[in-house]
Structures are given as structure tokens and as C-alpha cells.
Amino acid sequence: MGWKAFLAMGAQKVSDEELSKRAALVKPGHCSVLVYTSGTTGQPKAVMLSHDTICAEAKSVMASLGASSGFGEVEEQERVLSYLPLSHVAGKMLDMVAPVTMTATCPGWGTVYYARNYDLKAGTIKDRLCVARPTIFLGVPLVWEKIADKLRAIGAETTGIKKDIATWAKGLGLQHAKDCLLGGAGRYPVGYGLANTLVLTNVKAALGLDQCKVAITGAAPIRVDTLEYFASLGLSILEVYGMSETCAASTVSTFQAHAWGSVGFELPGIEVKVFKVDVGGGGKKIECAKAPGLESTDEEFQGEICMRGRTVMMGYLANPDLGPEHVAEIEQKTAEAVDSEGWMHSGDKGMITVAGLTKITGRYKEIIIGEGGENIAPVPIEDHVKGQCDGIMEVMMVGDKRKYNVAIITLKAVGANGEVPGTDALEAGAKRLNPEVSTISAALDDKMWIDTVTAAITSANNNGKICSNNSFKIQKFTILPNNFSEEMGELTPTKKLKRKEVERIYAVMIEKMYASKDTYVRYSA
């Protein structure tokens, strides 16, 4: 339906009596909306969410974030910038449901600003932020990381006393942010007020986030060093966790209780537990013991994260026109997702600490099972490699049922924004690594680049917390001449990595790595 047709529907005169009849036909348990899963491991599925589910989710999130940040709690305008796909649950809830809910139930009122459909692709989302000045903003990790890259590039060109002042201010900002983590006292270091006035407030204003009460990230894992970077600028990003099937968030971090590397605490009215699933067959579940802290790596504390409550979906929608086999398949997928006790099985591996913090440690469908049967969670290893080299955009490990692991590396490049693969020209940290190398194609043969990536991988391999033995280590790597993107089918609309598709696309190159005796295997089509 187009915009004009939508307005024409609103122009039709309908009597109050007719509206009352229609409203009376709507029941809390009826399907309200369809949202679509991201499709990381297959075709997206249509998730049915009831009116009751949406109301329960909106009430729970507003109660948690409102009390934490003051969002919607005072009689003033709250602003949202809509730029995420509305067919996905994050955009649906934040851009459509939240403003209506807040206006109806809170002292404040909501206004939605709409980004242009090309903003992410063109890299102009910051311009829209500066116009909207949102008071709440949800950025998927890729968006936050691209903003950080641009800021780091500006910082790298700053010299003299300006650089000294910026470094001093960010140091105080990070010091304060660390003391605001769970267990801290929230103290302001000496000089923070001046640093905030001279530097931090101005940086946030330049981003259009100076009036942002709540900055959120979700939909995919975010690196801790990205959270630390924004914290040094006086912007605390809160992690949330959930699924399309649970109407978005099931856990949230708040300003009063958050820890980097955790997705926070379960929302009011929602149960979140971690189970060892199908123990002894027959689908039996055993709840995992609580981990002593976020740094725990013992498998005893880890299992599948499951959620239960009013926010769980009705089920996946089947299309009868596609025949009985399709309907049976969708019914089976619903039964696999939500068990007989009402627990929604996320497919995510994680743990819950004795303090109640939830941590994601991997995704079961992403787990690499080595030739020796080891279960290897790739994300912590990949994130460590990226954290060691600012020029790396993505790392994807491959090694399922193989003797060892290899890695596919992409570099930061101009125009690579997740929507499109970008150009050959290096950008941000990649541009600074070796000033004499300005393109990806040149970096493929550059000794400094190869040595730097090798060192980043070696650092990960030598970290006993993430690589407990040789089967976890990356033995070989290649650097792609392009970036992953939605356009080329490697990323979902919410910028999640489609690992199986990447393996399919680059199958020939993967086999070349396994056949080679070298650690670095140059890409060739």
C-alpha cells in the first residue's frame, strides 16, 4: 500500500458505532502484527504477535527504561528516528509501538522522524540524527561501529593541544563510565565537569545525540571496545537482548545496573533461564547453575537461553495456499521453538550470573564442531582479532568438521556500510595502518598488513580464555577484496552475518586455504 492510498483510507468517514463494533471484535489473543525473522540460517519466517503480547512488551520496556532514564516520565516531547526495517521487530516496536504507548500512558509524548531510505547506504544517517535530535536511539552494532570509525578518523587528524585536551577528556569520560558499571559508585573524577563542557557535550552534539536519554544496541553482538569508546565520549550504550519471537527485548541493561559484555537483566514479567536441553533424549531440560561472574568460561554454567511469558509469540504463520506439507513444516518449527511448558528456545548459548546478568556466549547454529568433537564458539575469537586491528571490518571463522580453523577477513573500506560492499579504497583505521597503502587490493600484498593481521590472530590464539587449546585457534587466513553486505547476500537486513551463505559464496577460496601450506593465503577468484 502506498502513502496516498493509506491517507485515502483515513479520509473515509466511519461512524463511532461502526468503530465500536470493530473494536469489540478485537480480542487480546488475536494476532496484531506479523514481523519477520532475520533469516540468518534460512528463509525468514513470519512471526505472529498478539495484541496482548505487544501491550505486555511495551509496558515492561517502558517501566524499565523509563524508570532508569526518565524517558517519557516528564511532560515533554520524546523523539525517535525511524531508519530500521519496519518488517522486523526492533523497528516495529521502537518506531511504531513505543511512541503510541508513551503518548497514551506517560506524561511525555512521542514524535517519530523518518530517515530517508538511502541514509544507511549513503552514510548520511548522521545528518538525519542532527535534524531529529532523538531522545532514544537504537543502533545495531554495525551502525555504532561505523560512527566510531568516523570519529576515530577525525581524532587521528587532530594534533597539538586540541588532541591533548580531547585525550584528557575522553580519559575522564571512560573513568567515570567504568565507575558506573555494576558494583561501581558512579563517581565523577576531578575535572569531569570541565571535560564534559569543553569536549564531550560538543562531540555528542555533532553526532545529533546530545539530547539522547537512552542509547541502545541490539540485534547482533557488539564488541566491548566499541562500548568503551562511546563511554569515553560520555555516551553509555545499553545492550538489550531478545528475538522476533519474543516481541523484541527480553533482557535490558539500565543505567543503574549494567556491565559491558552482558545484555542485562530479565524484564519484569518475563522469565529468562538457561537450560541444558535434551539431556538423555526426549527433550528433557535441566536448568544450569548460575555463573559466579561474567568472566566464567566453565561449560557447567552454559546452555540454551530460553524465555517464557506473555511476550512469547503465538507461533509462525503458515500459508495454506502452499499446501499441507508447508503447513506441517511451519507447525513443526513452531513446536520446536516453543516447548510444551511455554519456553521459547532462542538457539543462543549463554549463561546467567548469580547477580542475574545474562551473557551471550555463542549461537548453537554458529558453533564450530572440530574434527575432535570440540565445541568452538567463534564470536569471542573473532571479536578479539577485530579488537587488535582497527583496520579489520569482519572476521569469520570456518572449521566445522575440519582438522583446524581458518578465517575470512574483510577490511574497512569507503562505502562499506552493510547495505553495499563498498569500494576498493581503504577507510578509517584501515587507511591509517600503512599510509602508503590506500586500497584493499594493495593491502592483499602488503607485508605490513599481512604481519598486522597475523599478529592480531596470534594474540587471539594465545588468549587462554577464548582459545583453551589448539582446536580453537585460527591456523590460516585470507583477506577478501570486498566487504560483506546485504546486497551480495552475506548479511541480513539487520546486518547479521549469514555464515552458511558466506561459506557457500567463498567455498573455493576456503578449500584453497586448507590446501595451502602458508598461514596467509592470498585471495584469488
State the number of CA atoms in the 13 A half-sphere of 252 facing the CB: 25
Phi, psi of 150 (to 5 degrees): -65, -40
Judge if 489 and 357 occupy the same domain: no
Is a pLDDT exceeding 80 seen at residue 345? yes
Cα 67 from chain centre: 24
Q: What's the pLDDT score for residue 468?
A: 86
Summarize pLDDT for 417-441 with one digit per residue, the tens. 888 899 999 997 888 899 999 999 9
Judge if 182 and 308 occupy the same domain: yes
Establish if 339 belongs to a structural domain.
yes
Judge if 329 and 455 occupy the same domain: no
CATH number at residue 137: 3.40.50.12780
**How many Å apart are CA 364 and CA 256, to the nearest integer?**
31
Q: Which of 306, 336, 363 is the C-terminal boundary of a domain?
A: 363
Judge if 502 and 450 occupy the same domain: yes
Closest CA to 139 of 126, 127, 154: 126
Bridge-based pairing of strands 136-139 and 109-114 is unpaired
Phi, psi of 173 (to 5 degrees): -60, -45
**How many Å apart are CA 176 and CA 187, to the nearest integer?**
6
Establish if 2 belongs to a structural domain.
no
Q: What angle do CA 357, 225, 88 make, to 5 degrees?
A: 65
The DSSP secondary-structure symbol of 285 reads E
Establish if 4 belongs to a structural domain.
no
Summarize pLDDT for 224-234 with one digit per residue, the tens. 999 999 999 99
Helix (H) or strand (E) holding 328: helix 324-337
Judge if 349 and 374 occupy the same domain: no
Establish if 13 belongs to a structural domain.
no
Establish if 97 belongs to a structural domain.
yes
Q: Which of 363, 392, 427 is the C-terminal boundary of a domain?
A: 363
pLDDT-derived band at 363 (thresholds 50, 70, 90) equals confident
Range of the domain at 418: 368-515
Judge if 174 and 266 occupy the same domain: yes
pLDDT-derived band at 106 (thresholds 50, 70, 90) equals confident
Is a pLDDT exceeding 70 seen at residue 313? yes
Q: Domain total for the chain?
A: 2
**How many Å apart are CA 503 and CA 485, to the nearest integer?**
14
Judge if 153 and 292 occupy the same domain: yes
Summarize pLDDT for 57-72 with one digit per residue, the tens. 999 998 888 778 888 8
Judge if 243 and 168 occupy the same domain: yes
Q: What's the pLDDT score for residue 279?
A: 64
Establish if 522 belongs to a structural domain.
no
Tell me the mean pLDDT in the region 236-255.
94
Summarize pLDDT for 127-162 with one digit per residue, the tens. 999 999 999 999 989 889 888 988 888 888 888 999
State the number of CA atoms in the 13 A half-sphere of 43 facing the CB: 7
Establish if 20 belongs to a structural domain.
no
Establish if 356 belongs to a structural domain.
yes
* Mean pLDDT over the full length of the chain: 91
Contact 509, 522 (CB under 8 A): no
- Name the residue with higher pLDDT: 197 or 70: 197
Is a pLDDT exceeding 70 seen at residue 13? yes
Q: Which three three-digit cell numbers place residue 448?
A: 605490513
Judge if 119 and 173 occupy the same domain: yes
Is a pLDDT exceeding 90 seen at residue 289? yes
Q: What's the pLDDT score for residue 465?
A: 87
Is a pLDDT exceeding 70 seen at residue 78? yes
Q: Which three three-digit cell numbers place residue 440?
A: 584493499
Q: Where are the beta strands (DSSP E) in 3-102?
A: 31-36, 46-50, 77-82
Contact 209, 129 (CB under 8 A): yes
Closest CA to 343 of 286, 289, 300: 286
Judge if 356 and 388 occupy the same domain: no
Q: What's the pLDDT score for residue 284?
A: 83
Q: What's the pLDDT score for residue 398?
A: 96
Q: Which of 307, 336, 363 is the C-terminal boundary of a domain?
A: 363
Bridge-based pairing of strands 77-82 and 109-114 is parallel
Tell me the mean pLDDT in the region 520-525.
93
Count of CB atoms situated within 10 Å of the CB of 39: 15
Q: What's the pLDDT score for residue 310?
A: 96
Summarize pLDDT for 264-280 with one digit per residue, the tens. 999 999 999 999 987 65
Q: What's the pLDDT score for residue 74?
A: 84
Judge if 320 and 458 occupy the same domain: no
**How many Å apart are CA 522 and CA 187, to the nearest integer?**
50
CATH number at residue 407: 3.30.300.30
Q: What's the pLDDT score for residue 281?
A: 61
Count of CB atoms situated within 10 Å of the CB of 6: 9
Q: What's the pLDDT score for residue 341?
A: 93
Helix (H) or strand (E) holding 49: strand 46-50
Bridge-based pairing of strands 303-309 and 344-352 is antiparallel
Judge if 231 and 115 occupy the same domain: yes
